[in-house]
C-alpha cells in the first residue's frame, strides 16, 4: 500500500485495474475502473461487500453522461445542473459503459460528480468512471481521513490518495430520477428541502420496487460498540437502563449540557451546528470505539437539513447486527 498525493501514481493504478482510495467532500471512496468487471470485483473482495449490493460511479466535472446513462431524465438534468459537483447521487438507467458488476446486473446505476479538488483532478485526468463505495469494511463506519482508510483496509488498497479530512462528512444524498415523482432513497449532503425547491415537487419515499442503493440496509455505518439511538430527552434514562460496564454518550454540546448523566460515562460532544456535526460524526464514533466503550447512547438531532442524514446514519448504526452485513 502506498500513500500520498501523487495523481500520476493513482491514475496508473486505476488503469492497471487496481484499487485507489481517494477523498471526496463526503467520505473517502475505494475506487476502481467502473468499466472493468475484474477491477470492480476487487472492491467487493476488499470490503467484504455482498456482490449484489450496488456501487456508485463517480465522474469528473463536465464528463459526458452518454454511455454511463442510457438516458438522462429531465429531473436528473435539473438536479445535476444545480448540485454537481456535489454530494448528490442520481439513479438513472444504466448505460453500456457501466460494468455489470457495478450494479449487481441491475438496469439502473448511481452517478455522481464529487466536489473535492483531488477527486476532480483524479477523475478528470483518468477520463473514465470510477466505481467507489466508502473505503472501509462493509457495514462499518465510513472513513473521513486517510488514516481511517489505512486503519480499516491496510494493504488491500494499492494507493491511498491523501486529501485531508472530508468537508461534508456524511455520504451523498441518493435520488431515484427514474420514478415519478423522483424518490429520495438516502438522505445525505444535499437536503430534501434544497432538492424539492429545485424540482418544484415533493420527493417520494422509497418503495419495495425502488432500486437497491448503498447504505440502505437496516444495519450500516456501525461502530464496534453497540449503539442505541434516542431522542435528546431520553438520553439520561437510556444510559441508566443500559447496564453495561463501559458507556459512551454522543450528543450535541447543548444536549449534553442540559442532561443529567450518570457518573463515569464517556462523553463526546458534537457541535450544535449541523454541518459541523455531520463533519465530525464518524470520527467521533471511532473515538468512542478507541476509548473502549461497550455501548454508545446517541441523541438524534432535529431532522431538518443535514440533521436528517445524521439521524439516518445513527438509526442504521443502531440497527440489528447481522454477521453478513456488519
User: Domain spans of the chain?
Assistant: 2-199, 226-317
pLDDT confidence of residue 219: 78
pLDDT confidence of residue 322: 60
Domain 2-199 and domain 226-317 have a common topology: no
pLDDT confidence of residue 298: 96
Q: Which CATH superfamily is domain 2-199 in?
A: DHBP synthase (3.90.870.10)
Distance (Å, rounded) from C-alpha 312 to C-alpha 326?
16
pLDDT confidence of residue 146: 97
pLDDT confidence of residue 324: 42
Phi-psi domain of 43 (left: phi exceeds 0; alpha: psi -120 through 50; beta: other) = alpha
Contact call for residues 49 and 102 (beta carbons, < 8 A): no
Distance (Å, rounded) from C-alpha 291 to C-alpha 280?
16
Q: Which of 39, 43, 41 is nearest to 30 (CA)?
A: 43
Q: List beta partners, residue 159.
A: 2, 20
> Cβ neighbours of residue 291 under 8 Å, at least 6 residues apart?
248, 266
Contact call for residues 22 and 28 (beta carbons, < 8 A): yes
Per-residue tens of pLDDT for the chain, all 326 residues: 899 999 999 999 999 999 999 999 999 999 999 999 999 999 999 999 999 899 999 999 999 898 999 999 999 999 999 999 999 999 999 999 999 999 988 999 999 999 999 999 999 999 999 999 999 999 899 999 999 999 999 889 999 999 999 999 999 999 999 999 999 999 999 999 999 999 999 999 998 888 888 877 777 889 999 999 999 888 888 888 887 778 999 999 999 998 888 888 899 999 999 999 999 999 999 999 999 999 999 999 999 999 999 999 999 999 886 644 43
pTM: 0.94
Tell me the CATH number of domain 226-317, given options 3.40.50.1000, 3.40.630.10, 3.40.50.11030, 3.40.50.150: 3.40.50.11030
CB crowding 162-193: b at 16 or more within 10 Å, else e: bbeebbbbbbbbbbbbbbeebbbbbbbbbbbe
Q: Which helix (H) or strand (E) holds 271?
A: none
Amino acid at each position: 500500500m502506498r500513500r500520498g498525493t501523487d495523481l500520476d501514481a493513482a491514475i496508473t493504478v486505476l488503469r492497471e485495474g487496481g484499487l485507489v482510495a481517494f477523498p471526496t467532500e463526503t467520505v473517502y471512496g475505494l475506487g476502481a475502473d467502473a468499466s472493468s468487471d475484474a477491477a470492480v470485483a476487487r472492491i467487493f473482495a476488499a470490503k467484504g461487500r455482498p456482490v449484489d449490493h450496488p456501487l456508485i460511479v463517480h465522474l469528473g466535472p463536465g464528463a459526458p453522461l452518454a454511455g454511463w446513462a442510457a438516458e438522462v431524465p429531465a429531473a436528473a438534468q435539473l438536479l445535476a445542473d444545480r448540485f454537481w459537483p456535489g454530494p448528490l447521487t442520481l439513479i438513472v438507467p444504466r448505460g453500456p459503459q457501466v460494468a455489470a458488476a457495478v450494479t449487481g446486473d441491475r438496469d439502473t446505476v448511481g452517478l455522481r460528480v464529487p466536489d473535492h479538488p483531488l477527486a476532480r483532478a483524479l477523475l478528470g485526468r483518468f477520463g473514465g468512471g470510477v466505481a467507489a463505495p466508502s473505503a472501509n469494511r462493509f457495514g462499518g463506519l465510513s472513513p473521513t481521513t486517510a488514516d481511517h482508510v489505512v486503519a480499516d483496509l491496510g494493504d488491500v488498497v494499492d494507493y491511498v490518495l491523501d486529501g485531508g479530512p472530508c468537508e461534508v462528512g456524511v455520504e451523498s444524498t441518493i435520488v431515484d430520477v427514474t420514478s415519478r415523482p423522483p424518490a429520495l432513497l438516502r438522505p445525505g449532503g444535499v437536503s430534501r428541502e434544497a432538492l424539492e425547491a429545485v424540482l418544484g415537487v415533493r420527493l417520494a419515499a422509497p418503495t419495495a420496487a425502488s432500486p437497491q442503493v448503498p447504505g440502505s440496509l437496516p444495519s450500516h455505518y456501525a461502530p464496534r460498540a453497540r449503539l442505541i439511538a434516542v431522542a435528546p430527552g431520553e438520553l439520561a434514562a437510556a444510559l441508566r437502563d443500559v447496564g453495561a460496564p463501559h458507556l459512551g454518550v454522543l450528543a450535541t454540546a447543548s444536549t449534553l449540557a442540559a442532561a443529567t448523566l450518570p457518573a463515569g460515562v464517556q462523553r463526546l460532544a458534537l457541535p450544535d451546528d449541523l454541518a459541523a456535526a455531520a463533519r465530525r460524526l464518524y470520527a467521533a464514533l471511532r473515538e468512542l470505539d478507541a476509548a473502549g466503550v461497550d455501548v454508545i447512547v446517541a441523541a438524534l438531532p432535529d431532522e431538518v437539513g443535514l440533521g436528517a442524514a445524521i439521524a439516518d446514519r445513527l438509526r442504521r448504526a443502531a440497527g440489528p447486527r447481522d454477521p453478513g452485513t456488519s
